[in-house]
Each structure stands twice: as C-alpha cells, then as structure tokens.
Chain A
Amino acid sequence: MSQNETQEEKVPNIDVERDVGNFSYQTTYDYDAGKGLTEATIDYICDVKGEPDWMREFRKKALKVFNDKPIPLGWASEDLKTIDLDRISYYMAKGRPTRSWDEVPEEIKQTFERLGVPEKERAFLAGVEAQFDSESSYSSMKEELFKQGVIFVSSSEGLMKYPEIFRPWFGKVIPIGDNKYSALNSAVFSGGSFIYIPKGVKLKQPLQAYFRINAEEMGQFERTLIIADEGSEMMYMEGCTAPQYETSSLHSAVVELVALKGAKIQYVTVQNWSSNVFNLVTKRGLALEDAEIRWIDCNIGSRLTMKYPAVVLRGERARGEVLSIALAHDGQHQDTGSKMIHAADHTSSNIISKSISIGKGRASYRGMVQMPRHLKHCKNNTECDALLINTNSRTDTYPAITVRGEGNSVQHEASVSKVSEEQIFYMQQRGIPEAEAMSLAVNGFVNDLVREFPMEYSVELRRLIDLEMEGSVG
C-alpha cells in the first residue's frame, strides 16, 4: 500500500461538507511567492516587503530550525503528517479585489444574515473587499489612541517603523525553536498586529483586529506582538464567528504578549474554521510583577486545532488566566489546553476549559502547570469540563501538573457530561424543537464562561452555537 493510500484511509473526512464553514474562490494575486518553502521563498517575501536584514536573517534561521525539527507526532495527531508543506503557498498578497458580491455563494450570504454580521463587515469577510472599511468607526478612536501614544499597526509596519520597541521583544516570549510550527511562522509570517500601550494608559475600548485588517493580514501565518508598558491596561479581540474567506488550509499563527509591571492584557479570540483547516497556533504571554494576562479563547470547527495559550508568570504576584471553549464536530479534532509556568513567588493562575464534542468530533484537553521547588505561595486552579453530544464523541484530558515547593497549591477538577435524552425530552415537552433544545443545553454548559466574553462576542457565539446544533440534529 502506498503512503498516500494509508493517509486517505486515516482521514476520510477531508472533504466534509462546508455548510457553515469557510469557502474559497479562485484568485490571482499581485504578489505570489509560489508553492513550496525554500530560502528563495524567504528572499521573495523580504524583498516584496522591503524588510531589514536582521529580519531576513531571523527568517532564514527559523527556516533551518523548521526543517530540522521533526513533526511532533504522538503529541496530538498523526493527522499532522497529512499536511503537504510543498503544496502550500507561503506568501500571497493582492492589490485589489477581483470579484463582486454577486459571486458570493448564497448560503454564505444567508449565514452572514443569520449570524447578524454587520453589513459593513460582510463584503470584507466574503473577500469582496480587500480592505475592511472601518475608517468611520475607527478614525475617531485612532486619533484618541494616537494622542495617548498607543501604537496599533500591522506587524510588518511595526518592525519597520518602531524597531526600537519591536525588536527587543520580538521572538523573545516565543523563541524560534519553541516548536516546529512557531519556527514555520517565524520563517514566513506576514500580517498580524503590533501594539504598544504606553505606561499607565488604560484603554477603555477593546482594540479589534478588524480595525486594521486587510487581505494580507488575514493571512495564514499571522504574527502578533503586544507590549503593555507598566501599569497600562488593554483588551484585544481577534477573529469572528462568521465563516471566513479562506485562503489556505494551514493556519499557523504566533502571538506574543508582554505585560510589564502592573500591566493588564486580555486577549480574546473567537474562531470558526471549516473542516479542512489545520490551525496550529502558539500563544504565550509574559507577565512581570503584579501584571495580569488573560486569554479568552473560543475555537469552533477545523480539522485539527492545536492551541495551548500559555502564561509565564515571571514577576511576583503576577496572575495568569485561560478561559477556553472548544467545539468539535464530525471529522474535527480540537486539541486545546493551557500552560501556566510559575516563575516567581505569590503568582496565581486559573484555567477553565470547556469542550463540546458532537458526533465523531473529538476534543482533548492538555494542561501543564509548573511550579518549581524554590517558589513559595503559588496557586493554580484548573477546571475542565467536557460535554458529549452523542455516544461516538471522544474526549480526553491530559493534565500534567508539576508542583513542588511548599505552600503552593493546585486544585484540579474535571468532568465529563452528556446532554441526556431526558433533558431533551423535557425541553421538547415544553414545545421547544429538538435542535433548539440541544443548543439551549450547550449554551447552558458554556454559559458561565461566555459571560466573561465581551458582549458582542457572546451574542455572536450563542447564535453560532444555535447554527451548529441545527446541523447536528437529524
């Protein structure tokens, strides 16, 4: 049996229906690095972007690390082998859109409608406009931000215009060699945000990826770096629950957060991928003294998501938190979790993870909490709850907790529950249709977590769960 046949057998779901998922068009790009990854690809990217030499070297070093590192099999899934790295386009950008709203498939328009995606965002999400028309909503805010000295630009612009702030932290929280896919991102990244919040500035409004996103930024190898200077506070929101105009099946982002003394960062993600997407993301924050980093993460869909937001609690009294919701349908695997690395006294961390597996969907939780021997008075609380929607679903929990040292405490709770036939019958007896009953139950399961999400996201999220459940009931 040939290699290919073996793979086919293992992954029968690659062409699953994309009813509420992403979609794509045939597109030509003004800049296209072609398929496959070599040093020439990197030169092409650097030349097109006009990047400085230090970045070219950084990228090439990363490419070498990427090539040297084996695929991390036995970690999440053999499925990773099915990614054909030679068939991926590593850099594409285009000047202007080449299609019209009329070409957007009808069911996508309907989904936008039902999700209540704002009118002005639809054209962009559908790939009809290269630039999200955000000037009206953003311009007054931009001026306000500018006055306060906030920098909010693309990562490419950041490295070019603000090297004195960008360079010292870039690749420091997540070094090139952290894992194979962070190395890949380091080699070919484009898009993503660079944000700097000056000392003491407390932003009341969340910064949204929407505000400066364009076709290139939505890329598959996003790179985001956020630095919150001493005593500052900010919230960043990325992604959306709407189906996304999809360029590629491999997405490998890297997000680095730096919260300096007393700073607070909240990073909110809501993503809804179609069943052919590999979403391999590395996210980590560094929290210094009295700083606080909070990841709020919601992953829906994708063939395989591997994402374990982490916080390194480097300064005393630093706090880290990860709140995550994962939903896996037939043929999807959500391998998510969290890492808390305690590296100073009196640090505390909290992890709450909820996963929902539907049909043959699979959700795994991986947690790692490290508290070395010399530390005192550290605390961690971990809760992970799984909800199974039918008997075929699978859920695994792999907590790895290393606590040493005195006066440190770790609390770990895990639960697996099912939506029972009796619950569904009870709700149906009140006149609620089965699919709606199912989404009520699922919404109930994630309810306490969703409350932590910013308002507009929680509303969208509930609608999305409704849509997902509709499709899951026969």
Chain B
Amino acid sequence: MSLEISSLNVSIADKQILKDFNLTIPKGEVHAIMGPNGTGKSTLAKALAGHPDYTVNKGSALLDGEEIFGLEPDKVARKGLFMAFQYPVEIPGVSIANFIRAAVTARMNKEASDAFSATAYYKALYAKMDELKIPREFTARSVNEGFSGGEKKRCEILQMAMLRPKYAILDETDSGLDIDALRIVAEGVETMRGPDIGIVVITHYQRLLNYIKPDVVHVMYGGRIVKSGGPELALELEARGYGWVEKEFGALV
C-alpha cells in the first residue's frame, strides 16, 4: 500500500514545473521534502490534489493502486488524500464546525449521514481541538477568516485529525508557528502517525524534523528529487544550504 508517483510532469501557465518526478510513499512512513523556494513543492501537492490550474502532462499517481489523476479534487480527497495548505483559504460566513462537518458527512453514505450524531461529532471535534490547544470558541468562527498564521496551520491539522486520511501532504505546516505551537502541531501529527497513514512533510527547517522524525528525507531541486537519505540529510542541508545542491545537480536541471 503506497502513494506511488511516477514520471510526473506538471506545468502551470505553460511553464513546466515538475519534470519526470518520481516518489513513493509507503503507508506507515513519514517522508520529508526540502528544497529551495520555487522548486515545485507546492506544485506537487496541488497537482496531486487535482487543482484545476495545474496541468498534468504526463505521469501517474496511484493511491493504493488506483489512479488519482483525472479525478475531481473532492473525489481524490475522499479516496484518502489530504493536503494541509501552505496558504489556507478564508471562507467567510462558514463556521469551522459546519465546514468540518460537511467534510465528514461528505464521506458518509446515506444511512450513515442520516444517522449522523451531532453530539458525537462535537465530542470528537472538541477532543481534537483540546489536543491542538485550539480554543473552543473557534468552532463558531469562519474558516480561516481573520486567523493568525499559526492559527490557520493548527486548524489545517485539526481538519486532518477529523478526516483521518490515508495519505497526507503537509505543505509548510511549520511556517508561521511559534515555538510552542510548533511542538503542539508536531505532537498532533505524531499521534496520527501509524501503519495506516503515509505522510509527506514539506518544510524548510530542520527544526520540525526534531519533533516529527522522518523515515526518509528528500531534496527537491528544479522540479525533481535529486537526493534522498535519512534524517541526517536534513541536518546537512541546514548546515550547508542549497549551494552545494546547485553545484552538484545544477547541470541536471
């Protein structure tokens, strides 16, 4: 069981971003992707999620053996792919509670949604919110509207916890978090870690990886993965920056 991405070519506005990109995330593992700005990390996440602006020119993505390219974004999500946005979107007038509820019930068949218990839902929601130290009044606030950067990121993880995806891509979920929040969010992710989920964390900072120990670290450069290794690779990047990557792999790009 894995999320298997092979020879993926993606362009946006006629500009090719991902070039023969290959990556396999087995269930039960956590992979980190690091790479300089503009190298295509978010492009990878959004293309997998089915964003209409990104054109998949070639390649495939098999989620537990099933092709997800060509499916509507909501279908992909219901198949079990979750993406925590680098820039979460504001939805005025729609409360967090109603939004997550709509997402939860969208995964149910008719009988289950008829039998949906609001009490049980709120109980589960409050429990996760407590874990992530999100004040309960947030349930009534509009999705991401007026949230601080850190609040938005925490709320992304709350949604992930409520939706229990099979594969999750966390796009710079650590950026904008203060030191305590970083630990809380990372702990939240760690609790979800297990044999039934494959996780990709996209990050610029090694610090996050102190809390969420990755099984594999990938270096992305020029629209593809140029080097993979253990957690020590992240430390090396932190110490040396990307200059050496450019020297070593610039020719390939």
Q: Which residues from B are CB-within-8-Å of A432? A: 74, 102-103, 106
Complex Cα spacing A437 to B92, Å = 13
Least CB distance from A120 to B in Å reads 23
Q: Which residues from A are CB-within-8-Å of B203? A: none
Is A460 in contact with chain B by the CB < 8 A criterion? no
Is A423 in contact with chain B by the CB < 8 A criterion? yes
Which listed residue (B50, B89, B102) contacts A426, Cβ 8 A?
B89
Q: Which residues from A are CB-within-8-Å of B88? A: 426
Q: Please, which residue of chain A has its CB at the minimum distance from the CB of B94?
A: A444
Q: In the complex the two chains form, is B52's CB within 8 Å of A447's CB?
A: no
Residues A434 and B93 in contact in the complex (CB < 8 Å), given A425-B51, A426-B88, A440-B99: no
Q: Specify the main secondary structure of chain B where it touches its partner.
A: mixed
For B82, B100, B106, the residue with the greatest tally of chain A CB atoms inside 10 Å of its CB is B106
Q: In the complex the two chains form, is A426's CB within 8 Å of B77's CB?
A: no
19 A-B residue pairs with Cβ-Cβ distance under 8 Å, sorted by A, are: A423-B91, A425-B73, A425-B89, A428-B74, A429-B49, A429-B77, A429-B83, A430-B74, A430-B77, A430-B102, A430-B159, A431-B107, A433-B74, A436-B106, A443-B93, A444-B92, A444-B93, A444-B94, A445-B92
Q: Which residues from B are CB-within-8-Å of A352? A: none
Interface residues on A, range: 20 to 34
Q: Which residues from B are CB-within-8-Å of A428? A: 50, 72-74, 77
Q: Given A440-B102, A444-B142, 18 other A-B contacts at CB below 8 A?
A: A423-B89, A425-B51, A428-B50, A428-B72, A429-B74, A430-B100, A430-B106, A430-B163, A431-B107, A432-B74, A432-B103, A436-B102, A440-B94, A440-B99, A444-B92, A445-B93, A446-B93, A448-B93
Complex Cα spacing A446 to B92, Å = 10
Q: Specify the main secondary structure of chain A where it touches its partner.
A: helix
Complex Cα spacing A452 to B51, Å = 37
Is A84 in contact with chain B by the CB < 8 A criterion? no
Q: In the complex the two chains form, is A441's CB within 8 Å of B91's CB?
A: yes
Residue positions of A touching B, CB distance < 8 A: 420-423, 425-434, 436-437, 440-441, 443-448
Least CB distance from B104 to A in Å reads 8
Q: Which residues from B are CB-within-8-Å of A423? A: 89-91
Q: In the complex the two chains form, is A421's CB within 8 Å of B106's CB?
A: no
Complex Cα spacing A433 to B102, Å = 10
Q: Which residues from A are CB-within-8-Å of B74? A: 428-434, 437
Q: Please, which residue of chain A has its CB at the minimum distance from the CB of B104?
A: A431
Complex Cα spacing A248 to B163, Å = 50
Least CB distance from A133 to B in Å reads 29
Q: Which residues from A are CB-within-8-Å of B50? A: 428
Q: In the complex the two chains form, is A427's CB within 8 Å of B91's CB?
A: yes
For B76, B91, B102, B159, the residue with the greatest tally of chain A CB atoms inside 10 Å of its CB is B91
Is B78 in contact with chain A by the CB < 8 A criterion? yes
Is B69 in contact with chain A by the CB < 8 A criterion? no
Q: Which residues from A are CB-within-8-Å of B72? A: 428, 433-434
Complex Cα spacing A432 to B98, Å = 12
Residues A426 and B91 in contact in the complex (CB < 8 Å), given A431-B78, A434-B72: yes
Complex Cα spacing A448 to B93, Å = 7
Q: Which residues from B are CB-within-8-Å of A444? A: 91-94, 142
Q: Please, which residue of chain A has its CB at the minimum distance from the CB of B103?
A: A430
Q: Please, which residue of chain A has its CB at the minimum distance from the CB of B83?
A: A429
Which listed residue (B49, B51, B91) contacts A440, Cβ 8 A?
B91
